[in-house]
Structure 1
Amino acid sequence: MKTDIFLRCLLLLSTTATLKCYNIDTKKKWSYASSHRDSLFGQKVLLHPTKTQNWVLVTAPTDNIQSRKFGGLHKCTIKPPAPVLSCETIDLTRGMSQNLNTAQPTASLAKDASGILACVQQKKRHLKSITEELNGMCTLLSADFHNEMLLNITEIVEDLANKHQYYLFNHREEPKSRENVLDKEFPEDKSLQQNSDEMNRNRKNRRRRWRNVEEEQKKSNDDEIDDPGTEIAIVLDGSGSIDPEDFQRAKDFISNMMKSFWQKCIECEFAVVQYGYQIQTEFNLQESRNAPLALQKVQQIQQLKNVTKTASAIYHVLTEIFNETNGHKKGATKIIMVVTDGELFWDTRNLVDVINMPEMKDVERYAIGVGEAFNKTKALQELELIASDPDDKHLFRVTNYSALDGLLSMLQQKLFQMEGTKGEALKFELAQTGFSTHMQDKHCLLMGAVGAHDWSGGIVKYDTQTTEKIFLNDSHENIERAKYGYLGYSVTVVQGNSGPLYVSGAPRHGNKGKVLVFEKDILTYKRLPYLEGDQVGSYFGSELCPLDVDNDRVTDYLLVGAPFYHIRGEEGRVYVYKFDKQDTFTYVKYLRGLQQDLFARFGFSVASIGDINRDGYSDIAIGAPLEGNLLDPDSFGSVYIYNTDSTGVVDTFSQRIKASDIDTRLRYFGQSIDGGLDLTKDGLIDIAVGSFGKISVLRSRPIINLKADLTFMPNKVPIVSVEQKIKASICFTILSNFSEKERDIQKSYIAYNLELDVNMEQKRIAFTNRKHTEENKLRIVELFCNEYSIIVLPCQPDCYTNITIDVSYSLENSDEMRDLPVPLLDKNGPTRASFELPYERDCNHKTVCAADLKLTTQLSEEELVVGITKDVTMDLSLANNGDESYLTTLVMMYPTNLQFRKIVEPPFPSVECTKPVSVNFSRFSMTCKISHPVFKKSVADFSVIWQLDEAKFPESLATISVNITSVNEGAKPIIEEVNIPVKHFFSAVLNKQTPDTYVNISQGSIQSADYRFTINGENPYEVPVILKVMIPTEMKGHTIMSLKEVHKTQNMTQCETLTPEGLLTRTQFSGTKWNCTMAKCKCVQCIIRTDTEDITVQTELILDSLQKIVEEKAELLISGEMSFNEKRYTNIKPIRYRDEITLILRKEKVFYLLPVVIGSAIGGFLLLALIIVIMWKVGFFKRSYKDMRDE
C-alpha cells in the first residue's frame, strides 16, 4: 500500500511539472469582475464571432444573491490601446415584465452563426389565482446583438398543454430497442403553399415582430401580472383552554408549514398573530423575509392565555398585517389561516361584522378547528363563518393538536396547485422551460423543461418560422418511473450521417441519470437507445458536449458529464461515447481529474475549445470548479485540457490549470468554459473561463507540429569495394498553420541530432569528419533544410540490410523579445524519425529478388545409443535456384548432449559458423552465414560433426532443427526438424540360483521352500530392469503354496507383491507340469537399477493340499522373467531373459502291517490246526513212540 501511494505521488509530481503550461499560457491573462460582490456573473460563458470582432457572452442570472436582482447578459471583448477586458450589458428586458426581481438565479445561453438565444426564468401568477408558474422568457438576438424576437415560453407551453401537441414516450426496460411515439396532430404547414412573395412578406413580418412586442406583452398582461407574491397571515389561538404541550405542538405545526410552503411557494411571506387576553403580532410580513429569524420567532412565542378574541385577531390582520407599512405588497394574494380550539369568548368585536368588512375582499380564509368543542353547533357555525366558501376546501377539523401535522400535505395541495398533484390540470406551470437551450439554427430552438410533468422533464422544440411546438419526454403513461428525472437539464444536437439527433440529459432519472436521444422521422419522432449512468447520485447527463474531432461537421464523440460521481467524495467523471455511422453511441472510456481532491466535481462543465495544439483535431476543456476548495476556500477550481487525435480523446490530460495559476481569490474557477476563437487578435485561439463573479480570458500557446524528412543523392548505395560519397539533405516542415501575426515563432530554433547506421557496431557510413553523429540548429521558417556529405565505407559483411539513420529534434527558444508566448513542440507528436538508405540489388530487372532455396539433410546414425555411439554427422546441402539471396543465414539448434566437434566447410560458396551458444539448459544454437552478403545461384554442401556425450540423455528423442532465412522481401524461412531416437546401453543376465528340487509330499503338512534369482551385468545409467518371479499359489481350489517373504541385497531395489489377473489359460488341469497358466499365482515384481542383484523368495508348501491333487508325481514351475523399456534402453548381452526353478513333487504308497500280522497269525493258526488234523488222521499221534522209546 505504501509503495502504491509513493508511486502515485511520483506520477503526480512528474505529470504536474511537465503539463503545467502546455496548451494554455497562464502568465498573461485578461479578467473582468462584476462590481457586485455576490454577483453570479460568470455562470455561463460563450465565445461569439461578429463581422468586426469576437466576443465573450457572459450570463449574470443575479447581480446580488440576497436581492435576487436579475443581472442580465453581458458581452465582453478586449479593447486597445492597453489590452483590457471590457464588458457591457445586453438589454434583454425589452418587452419583459419590468419587475424582474422575480427572476430566478438561472439563465441559459445558446448561439450559432446566425444568432443568440438567451433565456431567464420568470415567476408569474394568473390574476385571482395563487397558482405560481415558473417558465422561461427568452430573447432571440441577431449575430450582432440586435433584438429580433421575444419568446414568451409560458404562452408556448400553455399552447402545448391545450393542444396536446407533444410526444410522450412509453418507458421500457430494454434500452436497445427503438420506440415509436404516439400519434401527433401536426399543424398545417402553410409555408409549403406560400409563393415567394408571401415568404418575403413573412420575413418582413418577422422583422417587425420585435416592434410589436410591447403591444403583445400588454395584451398578455391582461391575463398575467408581475407576481408580488403570496401573503399568509396565521392567526393562532393562545387562550387558556390550550395546554402548554398543545400550544408547543401548534407552534411546531406553524414552523413545519412555513418550511414546507417555502419549498413550493417561491415568494410566500408569513405573519403570525396570537390572540388571548390581547392581540399580539409575533412577526409581520416584512420580518418573515428573513426565514431563519422568522422560524426562530415562532418557537419563541409565549402563550397569552385567558380569553378567545378570534374576531379581534382577524380584524387586526386586516388593518395591521395587510398594511404596506408592515410589508404588505399591493396586489399580493392574501390568505388568513385561523388555528383555534373553540368558540369566541369575551371578544368585543362581532365576527360577522369583521367577515363583512370591505378589507376582507380578495382575502381567502382557512379555518382549522382543534378538539371536540366544534361538536357544538355554535362553535361549528363560527368556524364555518371564518372559512371561505366552499367549506370542503377551506375548513379543516382535527381531534387534537398532535394531528395538525397530518394537514400539511392537504393544505399545500389546497393552497398551491403544484406539479405532482393528481389530475391533468397542471403540466407545465413549473416546467422552467428554457433552463437549458440549444440553437440548431436560427429557426430551430431546443429548450429544456426540467420541471414539466412532475419534474420528469422534457424538451420543447420550437420553430420560430412556422411556430410549430413539439414536446419530447421519456414517459407519460408511467410518470413514476421518470418522476424527478429532470430531463432537459442539458440539451444539444448531434449531427449524424442521416440528420440531426436531439440529445438531452436527465441527471436524476432512475437515480443514476440518463441521456435520451430523439430522432426526427418522416412524420414522427423516435426515441433511440439511451445512455445510462452507472452510479446513484452521480448526476450523469448534467452536462453534454458533442465533439467533432476532425471538423467534418459530423459529430464523432459525445462527452457526458457526471460531476457528482463519488469514490471517496464527489470527484466527478466524464464519459466518452463514440458516435458511429449507424447513429449509435458506443461507450469508449471515462475521463477523470486528479483523485487527490475529494469534491472536485470534475465534469461540471465540458466544452469543445477548437484545435489549440494545431494538429488538425478539436480539443476539449473540462471544468472541476470545486477542486482544491478544502485546501483553500478562497481560491479553488481547475480546468483540464484534453487533446484529441485520429483515435479519439487522449486518455491523459495535457494540462491542468488551477485557479491560483490565474489569479488570487478565484472561486468556482471552471464552472463554465468555452473556446475556439481569437479574442486577443494575436492569431492564437483563446478560451474563456467563468468563476464566481468573474471571467478570465486565456490564450493558447503556439504549438508546433514538425515533420522531419531526410533525402539522399543517390538514393541507393552501390556495393563496391572503395569509398564513395553521397549527399544527404535534412529538412523540417511546419505542419501547423500559423498566421502572419505569429511570426514570433521565427525567434525559435530546432536543435537536431543525426545518428548514422544506428544499432550497428561496425558502421557502414560516416560523415566527412569520420564521426557518426552530428548536432546542429536551424531557425524556424516554413521550410528549413541543411545538407551533409556522407562517406560510404567499403562493403563489410553486411552489405544488404538498409542503413538506418535516426533524427531526433527539440525546440530551443532564443532570448529575443516576444509578443506571444514561447512556442512548444506538440507533446503528442514525434520528436524523432528514422530513415533508411538501401543498398543496390540485382534482381534481374525485377523489383523484388525472389530466391529459391532448397535444403536437404542426412544423418550418419539412425539412432543414438548413449555409451556406445561416439560421433554423429549431419550432412547439409543448401541450393539456391533463383535470384540472389541476401544475408542467407542458417541457425541450427541441437541438444547439449551433442558436443560440437567441427564443421566441414566447402571451398565455395563460403560458410562461416559462429561458436555454439547456449540457448537454455538443454539446447545449443549455432549460426552460419551462407555466402554473405549475397548467396548467388549455387549449392553449399557442408557437414556438422558432433561427439555424443556419455552423460545421461534427458529425452527420448534428439531434435536437431535447421532454420534458414534471408532478408529478401517476402522471403519465407525454411524450417526443417530431424528427430533421432535416443537409447541408453546396459548389460544384464538372469540366472536361477536354486536348483531343481525333489519334494516328497507323502509325509508332513507344511514344508519351507526358497527360490533365488540373480541378475548380473553393467548398469551405468541406472536402467530400471524389472524382474518378475511368478509363484503358483492355488490349484483346483486348493492353496498349494503361500508367499512369506522376499529378500534383496541392494537398497535401491524396490519390490512388491502383485496378484496378476487373466493368466489362467486352461480351465481343465491335465498333465504333470504346472505353471501360472494353470494355477492362480502371486507375482513378486522388483525394479532393479544396479549392476547386480540377488532376489530370494521364501514360501511354504501346503503338503496336505498337494497330496489331494497329486497322484504320483508332478512338477511345479517357479519362473523368473527380466524385462525393460526397449524403446529407451538397449541390452548389449541379450543372453537370457527368462529362467525357471522346478519343484518335482513325489507321492509314495503306504502299507499297514497290523492287518497283515493279524491275518498271518490267524492263517498260521488255521494252518497249524490243519496240519494237526492231517497228522491225527494219518495216525501220527497213535504211534507207540513211548513204547518204542522204551524199547
Structure 2
Amino acid sequence: MDSSPVMDSRILSKCSGCFRERRMLGLRINPITVTLAICFIFLCFRHQPVSAFNLDIKTPLTQRGNRGDMFGYSVAQHIDQGNSWMVVGAPRAQTGQPDIIRGGAVLRCKINPHNLTGASAQFCQIIPFDARGNEQRLSPGGNYQPIEDKNNQWFGATVVSSGESGHILACAPRYVYLSTQLNKREPVGTCYLARSGSTRFEEFSPCRGNVDLLRETVDQYHKSGYCQAGFSVAMAANGSRILIGAPGAFYWQGQVYNYWLDLNNNKLSTREEGATEDNKYRGYSSAVGNFDDDKMEDYVVGIPRAEGLMGMVQIYNQNLQPIKNITGKQIGAYFGYAVAVEDLNGDQLDDIIVGAPMHSDKDSSSYDTGRVYIYYQDFRGVFESEGADLRKFRQKKKDILEGYEPKSRFGSAISGLGDINLDTYKDLAVGAPYGGVEGRGVVYIYVGSMEGIITDVSQVLQGKDIGYQLSTFGFSISGGHDLDKNGYPDLVVGAYQADTAVFIKSRPIVRVAPSLRLEPDIIKLEEKNKNCKIGEDPYKINVPCLMVRTCVEYSGVGVSNELEFDFFWTLDAKKNISKRMFQYITQQPEVSELNLRLQKEKIFCYDFIVYILNNIRDKLTPIDVSFSYRLVGENEVVGRKKRQAINLGTIPPILDKYIPSTVTVEGKISKNCGKDEQCIPELSVLAERVEPFAKPIEVGSSNEEIEISITVRNDGKLAKDGQLAEDAYETMLYVELPEGVLYSGITNANAAVALTCNYVTLNVSRFVICDIGNPMPALAKTYFTLLVTPHNIDGQSDKLTFKLNVNSSNPEMPGDTWNNYFPLEIPVRQHAVLEISPNLASSTEQVIYNTSGVSLYKGTGFGPEITHEYRVRNLGPTPVKSSIINIYWPSFDDQGNHLLKIDEDPKVLNNEGGYCETLLLSPENSTDFTYQEGNSKINVLLQTKSKRHSRQRREVSNIKNVKCNNQYCTFIKCFLGPLPGHMVDSRDAAVIKIKSHIWTNTLVLRGLTSEPFNLKSQAFAQVRAMPFNIPVDNFNETYMVSRAEVSTYVNAERLSPKTKGVEIWKIALAIVGGLLLLLIIILVLWVCGFFRRKRRPPPTEPTYNKPLMKNGQQPPKSSLANRPYE
C-alpha cells in the first residue's frame, strides 16, 4: 500500500460521490497510512547527543478532547485581551450545528486553569466560527435542498493565529459545495476568520464562486472544483493579509490565494500552468516572511511533488509573483511537506526552514527517517524582478538537520520558537510524530546562533514522558509566544491520535558569571612561605602557599531575587592521583561543599589558602584549580501534588546549559626555561653489552647474567636553531625486555643524577622503567649497568632485542627524536652435547662358559643370555630434536658363523618416539656398508676418548676380543626423539637395550670353551637435527660423534670365575674360628711332643729337580677342539 503523504492524482481523479475518498490530506487523514506508520515504528533509535534545556517536560499541561475527535490535529498559540490560549483543531469533533455529522471544531483552551471561575467553567471552549447547518435553497421541484455538505468537512484541520490581539484563521479543506443548481459535488474547501476578540467571523471560500461560473460542468477537477482550499494557511503578523493554499486546483497543480483584509478582502491567485505542472500540489504548506526590500511580507509555498517528485519551495511576493525556487535533493522525500520562517542567525533577515519527512538513507536502507533543510537569507548579491530589489539565498551555506530514526518522519511539523533561551537568537522545534520511545512521537529543540542553527539537538521531548497513552506526539507544533507571562516563549504540541494537546512551559534561565584566580599565579617551588607549615611538631616544614579567590554573580529574566547554590572546588583537577595541591586547613585535595543563598545581581566572593607539596614529581604541567556550581532543586523529581502546584503558579528556574558550570584557573610552575617558559631538551640513549665479545646466549641456558651498559644524555644541540638543550622534566627510560629474559637489577649507577628503576608488566610486554632526574638538567649525562638473566629463551629468534626509549614530559623538537630510541641486539644460538655411554649396571659383564657348560646347555642350541645397554644423554643447554645411534653387534665370527643371536628387536627406553632398525651384513651386501675400526666411513669427528669400561678381576693382555669385522656384522640403527637439555642425571637418559644368547655350536667349533675372550658391541651417537631455525653455537661439538662400547667377559676353564663377595661379619667369624682351631691343634701337638722331635741333618750335596719340559718343546694340544660335540 502506498504510504506517501498524498495519493496519486490519477487515483483521486477517478473518485466520485461524497468526495469519493479523494482525501487530499493524505498522511494527515488517511487512517490506514497512520496505522501502518505506528505499527512499524523503529524502536531501537540512534544515539542522540541530548542534554535537556529549559522546556519543562516535568510539568506539562495536557488537554484532552473527546475520543475520535482528532483533537490536536492542528494547534496554534493565541493571546487575546490579555488571556493566553491554546487553539486546537479537532476536525472530527461533533458540534451543535444542526444536522451536521462530525463537521469538526476549533477550541481554545486556557493555559492557567486556576483563573477559571464558576460552576460551568471549562478548560476548553469551542470557538463559534460557524453555528449554522447546511445552507438550503428551493429546488426546481419545489422543496428545499442543501447547497453544501459540511458533514466530515474536517473543520479545524488547519488553524493559524496572527499573534497577540490578532485574528484566528481555521479551515475545512474537505468542505463540499453542491452549487446553486444543486447538480454538482465539488470539494472546494472553506475557511473562517475570527477577528480580534473572536466575536466576529467571516468565511473565505475562494474556489466556491468559480464552481457556479461553469453552470453546465459537473466535475470541475480541471478547474477549481477540487481545490480543497484551506489545506494550508498563513497569516501576516499584523493580520492584514492571509494566504490560503488549494493544492487540488487545475488537475492538482495547486493554487494559492492572497487576501488583503485591509483592502476590502481583495484577492489575488496564481494561475493555471501547462499540463507538465499537473499533480504538483502547490499550496501543500505555506508560511510568511520578508524576502525583499519592500517591507511587505512575502510567502513561502511548499510544492512537494514538483521537479520530478524532488519537491520544491517557491517564494512569492504580495502580488504572487515568484521570487525564487528552492528544489529538493531526493525523489519522494516530500521536500516542502512543511515550511516555516524564522531568523535563526540574528541578522534581522528571515530564513526558510523546509521539512522533507520522507527522506530516506539509501546507504543504510533506512526509510522515512526525515530531514530538515535551513536556507539562510544573505545580503550578498541581488537580482531584480520587475523593478524590485530582491535578496538571494545562500546556496552554498545551508544547514541540514538529520532525522534520528527510520520511519519517524522527522520534519513532519516545523515551528519557530522565538528566542526560547533569551540568548538573542531565535530557536526551532521539529516534530517526528512516529519516532521516539515506543514510536509515540518526539519533538526536537534546536537553538540558533550567530552562525545559524546549532545542528546538535539541544533538547528532546519524548511523547512517552508526557503520558503513557500518548501517540503521534509532534504531529503539530506551535511556538513563539509567551503564554504564561514569565518572559520566555512556550510551546504547544498536538497528538491527534491520542486526542491530546500539550502546553509546555519554558523555565526561567539563570545565568551565572563566576570568576576564579590564584594569587600569585606563578608558583615558585623554591620559595617557602614561613606562615605555611605542615606536619606535626617538632617536624613541621615550610611549603609554598597560594590563595584561591572565587567570585560569583547570577542574573536572569523571571528568576527569583534569591537562589540557593552548591559550590565545589577541586585542586589539581587534571590529576586523579598524585595530587600536588592541598587545602591548607584540611590538608585535603578537595574543598568541602559550600551551600549558600545568593542575591540576584550581587557579587559574592570566597577565599581560601592552598599549599604545594615539596618535591613534587610533575613540575611541567600547570597546577589547576576548578570551581563548579549547581542550582539547588534544578533537577528535582516533581511529584504529582507539586506538579499541580507548579501548573497553577511559577516553575523553578534552570541554569543556562550554554554557560559552562565549571571554570578552571591554572598556576604555572616557575622553571628555568627562558622567557617563553618552554623547556626543549635533546635526549639520547645508547646501550652496549659490558662484555662485547662474550659468547652468544644459548637456548636453554640459565643463570648466566647479562650486563648491559646504558648511557642517557641531555647535552645535544637543537635541530631547529642549534641552541643547547634545556632541562628535561620527568625523564623516563623504558627498556622493553625480550621474551624469556628476567630483570635482576641495576648497578654502577652515576650518582650525579637521581635514578630509580622498576620492573612492570603491561599487557604481554615487560618493561624496566627508570626515572632519571626531575628535571634532568641540561648538559647532564647518566650511566648505569642493567642486569638481566635469560630464563626461558624460546629459540624463535636468532637474537634478543632490548628496545630502549627515553623521553620526557616536555617534548623535543620534531627533528631531535631520532636518538631517543636504541635497539640492542644480542645473538641467540643453540648448542647441544650428545654423549653415549655403556649402562654397566644393566649389561652382562661376564659369563662362565666352559666344558661343563657344554653339557649344561646341551639340546638348547645356544648358551647363556648376554644383554648390552647404552645410555644417551644431552649435556648441552639446548634440546635435541632428533639423533641417530649406530650400533655394531658381533652376531658372527670372522668366518660367518653365528656367535650372538639377537632374541628380539632392540628397544629404546625413556624416549618418546624412539625406535631401532636392524641390518645383517654379509659378504653379499657388505660392499654397501664397510665396517672399519674407528668408523672412518662416518663423515664427522670422533671423540678421541674411547669409553672402555672393565671391571675384570685381573687384566690379561692376550685375551681375544670378538667384535664386528669387515664382512660379518649386525648393524643396528636407532632413531631417538627429542632429548631435553641439561640431562645431568643418568636416570633421565634414553636407553637402548639389546638382548641376545651365545651360539654354542660356534664356541665348540672354534675351541672357545677353554679360553677366556671378550664379546664387544660398539655404538656411535650423533645429533641428527636441532629444534630451532637459528645458527648453532660450537658446531663441531654439537654434531660430534660420541663413541662407546660394551664388553662381556666370557670366562673359560683355566680362569676361576669371579666369586661372589662375602659379608664382612662372616669373614670376621671365620678368622676367629680359625685362630681358635689353630690354638687347639698347637696345644695338642705340644702335648704329644711334636715340637721336641729330632731334625734331619742337612744334605751334603745339592739336589736339583728335573725340568718339566725341554726348551723349544710344545705343550700338548687340547683335545677339546678335536672332540666331537656331544
CA distance in 2, matches of 1:47, 1:677: 7
Between Structure 1 and Structure 2, which shows a larger proportion of helix residues?
1
Give deviations 1:332-376, integer Å, cap 9, x for gaps. x9xxxxxxxxxxxxxxxxxxxxxxxxxxxxxxxxxxxxxxxxxxx
Residues 1:738 and 2:559 are matched in the alignment = no
Alignment match of 2:610 (pick from 791, 801, 809): 791
Give deviations 1:485-520, integer Å, cap 9, x for gaps. 97765456899999997544569x99xxx7722467
Q: Give how far 1:916 is off.
A: 0.9
Alignment match of 2:150 (pick from 102, 121, 124): 102
Match of 2:736 in 1: 893
Residues 1:925 and 2:925 are matched in the alignment = no
2:907/2:915 contact within 8 Å kept: no
Residues 1:436 and 2:222 are matched in the alignment = no
What's the RMSD between the two structures over aligned residues?
A: 6.4
Alignment match of 1:1051 (pick from 888, 891, 911): 911
CA distance in 2, matches of 1:48, 1:588: 31
Alignment map for 1:775-924 (pairs within 5 Å): 775-780=593-598, 781-782=600-601, 784-798=603-617, 799-813=619-633, 820-825=650-655, 832=662, 834-860=664-690, 863-866=696-699, 867=701, 869-881=704-716, 882-895=725-738, 897-904=740-747, 906-921=749-764, 923-924=765-766
Moved more, 127-136 or 850-859: 127-136
Match of 1:748 in 2: 563
Give deviations 1:795-840, integer Å, cap 9, x for gaps. 3232333224343432215999995212234678755555433212
SS in 2 for 1:1134: helix
Q: Give how far 1:876 is off.
A: 1.8
Match of 1:620 in 2: 429
Alignment map for 1:580-659 (pairs within 5 Å): 582=396, 588-591=402-405, 607-610=415-418, 612=420, 618=427, 620=429, 622=431, 640=443, 642=445, 648-650=455-457, 653-654=460-461, 656=463
- Structure 2 spans left out of the alignment, 5+ residues: 1-42, 118-122, 137-146, 261-265, 376-394, 529-542, 637-641, 717-724, 838-868, 887-904, 918-935, 940-972, 984-988, 995-1019, 1044-1126
1:435/1:489 contact within 8 Å kept: yes
Change (3 A) 1:889 1:546: farther
Q: Give how far 1:719 is off.
A: 1.8
1:576/1:591 contact within 8 Å kept: no
SS in 2 for 1:673: strand
CA distance in 1, matches of 2:400, 2:60: 40
Give deviations 1:717-766, integer Å, cap 9, x for gaps. 112252243221224465xx832xx132x332120221223423454332
Between Structure 1 and Structure 2, which shows a larger proportion of strand residues?
1
Change (3 A) 1:845 1:601: closer
CA distance in 2, matches of 1:756, 1:666: 48
Q: Give the structure-2-normalised TM-score.
A: 0.54
CA distance in 2, matches of 1:542, 1:950: 74
Change (3 A) 1:668 1:50: same
Change (3 A) 1:462 1:659: same
1:501/1:517 contact within 8 Å kept: no
Alignment match of 1:154 (pick from 207, 216, 235): 207
CA distance in 2, matches of 1:666, 1:1048: 86
- Structure 1 spans left out of the alignment, 5+ residues: 1-9, 156-216, 226-332, 334-414, 420-425, 566-570, 594-599, 631-636, 992-1011, 1030-1044, 1058-1072, 1077-1082, 1098-1117, 1142-1191
Match of 1:1042 in 2: none
SS in 1 for 2:675: coil
Change (3 A) 1:40 1:1130: closer
CA distance in 2, matches of 1:497, 1:1138: 103
CA distance in 2, matches of 1:472, 1:1055: 102
Moved more, 61-70 or 775-784: 61-70
Match of 1:469 in 2: 270
1:903/1:942 contact within 8 Å kept: yes
Match of 1:766 in 2: 583
CA distance in 2, matches of 1:532, 1:1084: 83
CA distance in 2, matches of 1:69, 1:90: 15
* Matched AA of 2:584: F
Match of 2:821 in 1: 975
User: Aligned residues, how many?
Assistant: 757
Alignment map for 1:297-336 (pairs within 5 Å): none
Match of 2:483 in 1: 679
Alignment map for 1:1119-1138 (pairs within 5 Å): 1122=1024, 1124=1026, 1128=1030, 1130-1132=1032-1034, 1134-1135=1036-1037, 1137=1039
Alignment match of 2:55 (pick from 16, 23, 48): 23
* Matched AA of 1:47: Q
Over the matched positions of the two proteins, sequence identity in percent amounts to 18
Q: Give how far 1:889 is off.
A: 1.9
Alignment match of 1:944 (pick from 769, 772, 786): 786
CA distance in 1, matches of 2:483, 2:310: 33
1:19/1:655 contact within 8 Å kept: no
CA distance in 2, matches of 1:116, 1:28: 24
Q: Give how far 1:1134 is off.
A: 1.0
CA distance in 2, matches of 1:720, 1:497: 69
1:22/1:655 contact within 8 Å kept: no
* Matched AA of 1:588: E
Q: Give how far 1:848 is off.
A: 2.4
CA distance in 2, matches of 1:940, 1:647: 56
2:359/2:370 contact within 8 Å kept: no
Q: Give how far 1:927 is off.
A: 2.3
* Matched AA of 1:433: A
Q: Give how far 1:682 is off.
A: 2.1
CA distance in 2, matches of 1:1094, 1:591: 76
Alignment match of 1:123 (pick from 176, 198, 202): 176
Change (3 A) 1:152 1:418: closer
Change (3 A) 1:629 1:1125: closer
Change (3 A) 1:809 1:989: same
CA distance in 2, matches of 1:556, 1:979: 69
Residues 1:729 and 2:762 are matched in the alignment = no
Change (3 A) 1:629 1:925: closer
CA distance in 1, matches of 2:127, 2:502: 17
1:576/1:589 contact within 8 Å kept: yes
Q: Give how far 1:463 is off.
A: 9.2
* Matched AA of 1:856: L
CA distance in 2, matches of 1:628, 1:859: 68
Residues 1:984 and 2:830 are matched in the alignment = yes
Change (3 A) 1:1094 1:504: farther
Match of 2:1112 in 1: none
Q: Give the structure-1-normalised TM-score.
A: 0.51
Q: Give how far 1:859 is off.
A: 2.8
CA distance in 2, matches of 1:115, 1:1122: 106
CA distance in 2, matches of 1:793, 1:506: 71
CA distance in 2, matches of 1:586, 1:1027: 80
Match of 1:718 in 2: 524
Match of 1:958 in 2: 800
Give deviations 1:1083-1127, integer Å, cap 9, x for gaps. 999765357879999xxxxxxxxxxxxxxxxxxxx9998454786
Residues 1:45 and 2:75 are matched in the alignment = yes
2:337/2:355 contact within 8 Å kept: no
CA distance in 1, matches of 2:435, 2:667: 56
CA distance in 1, matches of 2:708, 2:89: 91
CA distance in 1, matches of 2:272, 2:432: 31
1:720/1:794 contact within 8 Å kept: no
* Matched AA of 1:46: A
2:804/2:823 contact within 8 Å kept: yes
